[in-house]
Structure 1
Amino acid sequence: MKGGRTLEGVFIGCLVGGVLFALVSVVLGDWLSASLDGMLDFLSFDGYPVLQPTAIVSGITVFGGAGLLLSHHTSLGSLLIIFTAIVIGLAAAVAMFFFYVRPMARSENSTSYSMKELTGAIGEVSVTIPGKGYGEVLIKVGAGLTNHIASSVDGDQIPAGERIVVVNVEGHTLHVSKLEL
């Protein structure tokens, strides 16, 4: 009986964990993304498009729910319940990827923005900014990168490749400073 309760605990944990992940993603997803500003980019699965967190967590959630339903409403043995729940969870993850994640990734992204929105944005110098004069920076806006003319707020030269933060915007010129973390 102890093995059945442990198995039920695993199923409940997967189900509850997936539901909590979904709720946190919906309610706090944009805020967390903006607050962390790329700190978790190392977790990205860019080289493996099938390994998307939404699809993986969906599969784990469905595994938990299917396992719980199978253990309560069938007379299958524990191993068969686990195997069947894994197959159902994998099918759900694949379906989530092909019917939701992939179409959303292929959908058109808006790149419209206001220059005023760039204040506080973090970017990278693409053309060295002299102490007195102008250079160029790359800023990520929406789904793409944009080039902007920039000058140094501090009057210091900022070499190409240096990370910067936009201090203010005047017209079409960004006034930037080195990003010091």
Structure 2
Amino acid sequence: METLYWSCLAGGVIFAVVSVVLGDILSHALDGFLDFLSVDVLKPMVIATAVTVFGGAGILLLRYTNLHQGLSALIAGIGAVAMAGVVYVAYVRPMENSENSTGYSIRELEGRIGEVTIPIPPEGFGEVMVRLGAGNTLHIASSLERLPLPAGTRVVVVDVLDGVLRVTGLDERKGDVV
């Protein structure tokens, strides 16, 4: 029984090290091949935690208590399941919910203030930089009123038509639309 515990402990530690070092490489190489095995609670980190705790607790119980092997295996199993549950609830689930996306819809730009980077002629297209999140995004733009807008002019995105921002100048003194 001690061999089983040592195997679980060593296997769990090796799995943790390999998954940290080679996790991204292996995930990319398999390209979702094992996704059908994915069950919400059965994450690799949770399984590795359970196996490692089972092995470690089993070794400690065998060496430092006079419990029967079956009882020590039962206690080690309960501890493993409990610790895996704690890891899932305290770490895995919150980390899944904390993922951020940098994606956005072009419709989200309506009403945003931007700056002309390439002059917009009365009958044509230029470019506008709009601050979005922690970065800036550049988009093709046209003048809504068909007025020329030189580079550096602050504008408001009024509408989006066929992927082109339709903008109007912003009066800096009043904060009003020109």
TM-score (norm 1): 0.54
Q: Provide the aligned C-alpha RMSD in A.
A: 1.3
Q: Write the distance in 1 (CA, Å) between the matches of 2:24 and 2:5.
A: 29
Equivalent residue for 1:105? 96
User: What pairs up with 1:33-112 in 2 under 5 angstroms?
Assistant: 33-45=27-39, 49-111=40-102
Give, in angstroms, the shift of residue 77 of structure 1.
1.1
Equivalent residue for 2:11? 17
- SS of 1:59 mapped into structure 2: helix
Equivalent residue for 1:8? 2
**2:38 maps to amino acid:** S
How many residue pairs get matched?
103
- SS of 1:76 mapped into structure 2: coil
- SS of 2:96 mapped into structure 1: helix
Q: Determine what percentage of the aligned residue pairs are the same residue.
A: 52
Q: Write the distance in 1 (CA, Å) between the matches of 2:56 and 2:93.
A: 24
Q: Write the distance in 2 (CA, Å) between the matches of 1:96 and 1:37.
A: 26
Equivalent residue for 2:25? 31
Q: Write the distance in 2 (CA, Å) between the matches of 1:15 and 1:78.
A: 17
Q: Write the distance in 2 (CA, Å) between the matches of 1:50 and 1:42.
A: 14
Q: Write the distance in 1 (CA, Å) between the matches of 2:81 and 2:34.
A: 25
**1:32 maps to amino acid:** L
Give, in angstroms, the shift of residue 110 of structure 1.
3.5
TM-score (norm 2): 0.55
Equivalent residue for 1:154? none
Any gaps of 5 or more consecutive residues in structure 2? 104-178
- SS of 1:84 mapped into structure 2: helix
**1:57 maps to amino acid:** A
Any gaps of 5 or more consecutive residues in structure 1? 1-6, 113-181
Q: Write the distance in 2 (CA, Å) between the matches of 1:84 and 1:16.
A: 19
Report which of the two structures shows the higher radius of gyration computed on alpha carbons.
2
**1:105 maps to amino acid:** E
Q: Write the distance in 2 (CA, Å) between the matches of 1:104 and 1:93.
A: 15
